Amino acid sequence: MSDERNDFDSPWKEALEKFLRPFLTLCFPAVAEQIDWSQEPVFLDKELQALEHDADAGRQYVDKLVRVFRRTGGEAWILVHVEVQSQPDTRLAERMYQYHHRLKQIHGRPVVSLAVLADGDPQFRSGTFEERYLGTRILFEFATCKLLEFSEGQLVQPGNPIAQVIRAHLIALRWRRDSPHRRRGKLELLWHLDRDSFDRETVYQLLRLLDWFLPLSTAQEHSFRQELQELHPEKIMHFVTSFERSARKEALQEGLQLGHQQGRQEGRQEGRQEGRQEGQQMGQIEALKDAIREVLTTRFNQVPSEVNLRLETCRDLGQLRRWLRQAVAAPDLAVASAPLD
């Protein structure tokens, strides 16, 4: 079992928002069956922030709160509160009760409370809160999903991206960043993505999450990239997320190489230092343009015509570098394609 601290909260929050239905289908199927998925779920981030601000009982938080409609139509809408608990916490049940009570009080609607026990302790359990005082008794029960209890067979869920998220989580729990077992597990997950035939956007979201769950040491990341290229070269560009971190560096290296080649050629032809310098700069410019186009194509399946036009006329290395960073980090195509000042 790894003794490193893993960042599970952040990727799980994103996974819940991106893949709520697959998550409930796999982890809480009875709840998923009762939801009318023809109506878009609404995540209530502002309500969560207000609730967290009001909470005064120490470390309290809600991972996700979502408004959904029931399939039977018995209720106009209900709230689903999901908390992912990545460490054993004896106060989890009490905290779930407090949030359930506050949410019901504020919204006046039915509240479904769900807890994902994502810790590495097989003995930790929490699904009931009970309080007794002078003849008064409170008993609060909520559904839980213990990730460690998933068998390999249960995670064979073609078409369900959350199955791959859980696989990544369990690998991260078990193996350190510098472990070759983690590297091999991450490579295997990519094979699962390929076999499951997810659409391009789902693949991209999963790749981001897998990188988040399974960061590797520098040495293991290098080996991972080499193995991926050797084993499945025709699919390499579909697995771009792991390589976006070094896109700027590689683009600049390629630009330098192209620039040196062009510079030497022009220098021989014209016998001038200016030719070599200009060739080097033009090589960097063209490499950066190619890198921007590749990132946009891989992430969003297109390069807008206005982007191509601006790329064709741009000769500013600094602007192109900033644009590449923007293309890599932007949450959507509109932001990625926005003109730079």
- Contact at 8 Å (CB) between 142 and 113? yes
- Contact at 8 Å (CB) between 281 and 320? no
Span of 108-117, 134-143, 165-174, 209-218 with lowest mean pLDDT: 209-218
Give mean pLDDT, residues 28-35: 96
In this model, does residue 151 exceed pLDDT 50?
yes
Q: What is the DSSP string of 139-167?
A: EEE-EEEEGGG--TGGG--TT-HHHHHHH
Give mean pLDDT, residues 184-208: 83
Query: How confident is the model at residue 97, as a pLDDT?
Result: 94
In this model, does residue 308 exceed pLDDT 70?
yes
Confidence band (pLDDT; 50, 70, 90) for 156? confident
In this model, does residue 115 exceed pLDDT 90?
yes
Give mean pLDDT, residues 312-339: 79
Mean pLDDT of the chain: 80
In this model, does residue 251 exceed pLDDT 50?
no
Q: Supply the DSSP symbol for 270.
A: H
Span of 13-27, 122-136, 194-208 with lowest mean pLDDT: 194-208
Give mean pLDDT, residues 86-108: 91
Give mean pLDDT, residues 101-128: 93
Residue 106: Cβ within 10 Å count: 14
In this model, does residue 250 exceed pLDDT 50?
no
In this model, does residue 56 exceed pLDDT 90?
no
pLDDT tens string 3-25: 455 668 778 988 999 999 999 99
Between residues 17 and 245, which one has the greater pLDDT?
17
Confidence band (pLDDT; 50, 70, 90) for 42? very high
Between residues 286 and 67, which one has the greater pLDDT?
67
Give mean pLDDT, residues 297-311: 79
Give mean pLDDT, residues 158-165: 92
Confidence band (pLDDT; 50, 70, 90) for 239? low
Confidence band (pLDDT; 50, 70, 90) for 317? confident
Confidence band (pLDDT; 50, 70, 90) for 43? very high
In this model, does residue 61 exceed pLDDT 50?
no
Q: What is the DSSP string of 88-149?
A: --TTHHHHHHHHHHHHHHHH-S-EEEEEEE-SS-TT----EEEEEETTEEEEEE-EEEEGGG
Span of 41-45, 187-191, 193-197, 271-275 with lowest mean pLDDT: 271-275
Query: How confident is the model at residue 300, as a pLDDT?
Result: 75
Between β-strands 136-141 and 128-133, what pairing exists: parallel, antiparallel or unpaired? Answer: antiparallel
* Amino acid occupying residue 312: E
Query: How confident is the model at residue 272, as a pLDDT?
Result: 47
Residues 6+ apart with CB under 8 A from 74: none
Query: How confident is the model at residue 261, as a pLDDT?
Result: 56
In this model, does residue 60 exceed pLDDT 60?
no
Q: Supply the DSSP symbol for 68.
A: E
